[in-house]
Amino acid sequence: MDPTTSAKVATAGMGCLPCRTVLDHATRTVITVVRQVWPDEVVSIGPPLPSVTNHVTAVKAREGWFVAKYSILGTSLLSILRGARGPWDRVEAAQRDYVQQPTAQLARERAQLRALAAHARRTEGTLRVPTVIAYQDGVLISTASSGSSLAVELVCGRTAPDRLLTDVTAIAAALHSDRFLARELPGSHALATPHTSIGATFTRKFTGEGASSYLESLGIGWFEDSTRRRLAASFGALRKILHPLLRWLPAPVVIYGDLKPEHVLLDACGRQTWIDPGLQRGDPAAELAKLLSRIALLVITARPSRGRLDAIGAAMDLLVTSFVAHHSRPDGITALRRLLVLWLADWANYLSSGLSVPPDVPLPLPPMLLDATGQAQPLLRLAREVAASVTVDPVRAWETAQAGILGLAAGQRR
């Protein structure tokens, strides 16, 4: 079956847009902009790179390697394909206006990368970010970053996991304490993105308009109907527990917003390059929650050696213990509860994204997303177990989470 036919078959059950139509539009736009940026050079454009959110491609020009990103209406590609923004003619018309707006997702990312570069110069720290080359017609071109990802280093690297995670959280803390960072961003729109927070995403997906039909559609192409109904029930149970506890709390600090293992690259000297920022004013608990959430999914899907798994588990526990220790005992329990609630909400957001599009759609998706989606049943079972005690006993909830993560990563069935 050719890719076009595969896309039609895969999307037929979803009432979605043909994948090839969306990808062809994005590819043509990227090629046009790349040719304008390097008009006198022979430039090679690679195939799309795995991404849930944007159309991302590698670009080879005479000066070296670059990355070109293109966002459609600031909405994930999965949602666009699912038809969340309407038929293609409506999306294409809206996109022409969207790419001219200063609030467009990649226009904000350009501003954020420049602000982060200024932060790195000011603090003389170990953080590096890609250099912006151009932003035109909705396409952001930046330098490509080399190095091994934190995900790879955690699973099979030589550096101790506790040191890796301590270095990452130290850089995050430096961002939180930089009182000049927000001022350097050109306009409040560059930071005012609470709709991208864990809690807001969870609320939009599971309690907003169309939430019921969204739940009913999850898992098409992945599981039979009876399993899909059980998955929908699990999401519904999480919604009942988590939604009353999820409130967007404005905070004076700037958080990276999308800190996860695949967004941190390390060179041979251990210097870090962070990619794909989502700077926003927020709760540092949300920063740590996403990092821990994705590390947990990483070890469950990658299944490192037993010794490495134990070391990663201990490093995660150290992060949580240190986070709680920053508060007095009553406040520490409250902080732990909020951390776990945000963690569980991020798991729900991530798994539902994978379940929202059948596995045979010819869209390059991150391997961990595909692997985690295939294990949605045990993952959601664990999430419900943790959620059951998160309100009354967060310490017990964390112990349940630890045991469950290590058990699943070790291949033990739950």
Beta-bridge partners for 170: none
User: Could you give the CA distance from residue 304 to residue 327 in angstroms, rounded to a whole number?
Assistant: 33
Question: Do 286 and 297 belong to one domain?
Answer: yes
Position 9 scores a pLDDT of 29
For the stretch 30-86, pLDDT in tens is 999 999 999 999 899 998 898 988 999 999 998 799 999 999 999 988 888 888 899
Identify the domain containing residue 83 by its residue range: 1-144
For the stretch 75-98, pLDDT in tens is 988 888 888 899 999 999 999 999
Show Cβ contacts of residue 226 under 8 Å, excluding neighbours closer than 6 positions.
Answer: none
Question: Do 230 and 89 belong to one domain?
Answer: no
Query: Pick from 89, 118, 144: which residue ends a domain?
Result: 144
pLDDT tops 50 at residue 207: yes
Position 16 scores a pLDDT of 64
Question: Do 383 and 359 belong to one domain?
Answer: yes
Question: Do 34 and 150 belong to one domain?
Answer: no
Using only the alpha carbons of the chain, give its radius of gyration.
21
Question: Do 139 and 151 belong to one domain?
Answer: no
How much is the mean pLDDT over the chain? 89
Count: domains in the chain: 2
**72 C-beta neighbours (distance < 10 Å), count:** 26
DSSP letter at 50 equals: P
Question: Do 311 and 392 belong to one domain?
Answer: yes
pLDDT tops 70 at residue 136: yes
Position 249 scores a pLDDT of 63
For the stretch 106-132, pLDDT in tens is 999 999 999 999 999 888 777 899 999
Question: Do 39 and 149 belong to one domain?
Answer: no
What CATH code is carried by the domain that includes residue 49? 3.30.200.20
Query: Pick from 88, 120, 144: which residue ends a domain?
Result: 144
What CATH code is carried by the domain that includes residue 230? 3.90.1200
Q: Which helix (H) or strand (E) holds 133?
A: strand 132-136
Question: Do 56 and 163 belong to one domain?
Answer: no
Determine the average pLDDT of the residues in 275-297.
93
Query: Pick from 113, 144, 175: which residue ends a domain?
Result: 144
pLDDT tops 50 at residue 6: no
Position 125 scores a pLDDT of 73
Question: Do 131 and 154 belong to one domain?
Answer: no
pTM comes to 0.91
In a 3-state reduction of DSSP, which class is residue 280? strand
Question: Do 176 and 310 belong to one domain?
Answer: yes
Position 187 scores a pLDDT of 53
Question: Do 126 and 158 belong to one domain?
Answer: no
**Cα three-residue angle 47-24-145, rounded to 5 degrees:** 35
Position 10 scores a pLDDT of 34
Question: Do 149 and 34 belong to one domain?
Answer: no
